Chain A
Amino acid sequence: KAGVTQTPRYLIKTRGQQVTLSCSPISGHRSVSWYQQTPGQGLQFLFEYFSETQRNKGNFPGRFSGRQFSNSRSEMNVSTLELGDSALYLCASSIQVNTEAFFGQGTRLTVV
């Protein structure tokens, strides 16, 4: 059974640009969550989607957005990139609510 797949693995962007990250969850999993990991702030929850609906949103500015498609694949978008957005972005999938989450290898975003 394939795990959680995130693409791309690495990205370098310039301040002011926008970026889209993709996540394919484990087959049959309906919940996809996104996290930002930085050395200073640790692992912070961005948002969760379940059956194409955003269930929860963390404390991030509106520049961070996401969506989930009917096949459960999810994308997150960051507009008007700032240097502080440089981080490892992790996607997690869960088969249901309040179950364990399985994480992808992440997308390492560097903003220059």
Chain B
Amino acid sequence: AQKVTQAQTEISVVEKEDVTLDCVYETRDTTYYLFWYKQPPSGELVFLIRRNSFDEQNEISGRYSWNFQKSTSSFNFTITASQVVDSAVYFCALSEARTGNQFYFGTGTSLTVIP
């Protein structure tokens, strides 16, 4: 079974629009960690955020914000006032305390910001 689901395969928005990338996860562990990564065309995965299962506080970092809801097993990512440089593939990932640094990645959402 897929542990991380990113239902949106591709999204296109016009510059300055807000966009939300959805992530739904599945785990039986009580201690787990959620991540978002950005993959530009160069291929390197760029770390954006890490949350642990005990911290449901939403987080904002500049134009980026994350909404973690355990009740719906979701960890959504919003980009406010999108820019062309935000165009990339975004991956949500899960790791479980018992398996350490083994990440389960979603299939990614390709975001295109049109100028």
Name A residues whose Cβ lies closer than 8 Å to a Cβ of B.
31, 33, 35, 42-43, 45, 48, 50, 55-56, 58, 88, 90, 92, 94, 97-106, 108
Contact = CB atoms under 8 A, between A and B. Distances in A.
A50 B105 contact: no
Contacts of A31: 100-101
Interface of B: 33, 35, 37, 42-47, 50, 91, 95, 97, 99-108
B44 A100 contact: no
Contacts of A45: 102-104
Nearest to B49: A100
5 contacts: A31-B101, A56-B99, A97-B100, A98-B33, A99-B50
Contacts of B91: 43
A58 B102 contact: yes
A56 B107 CA distance: 21
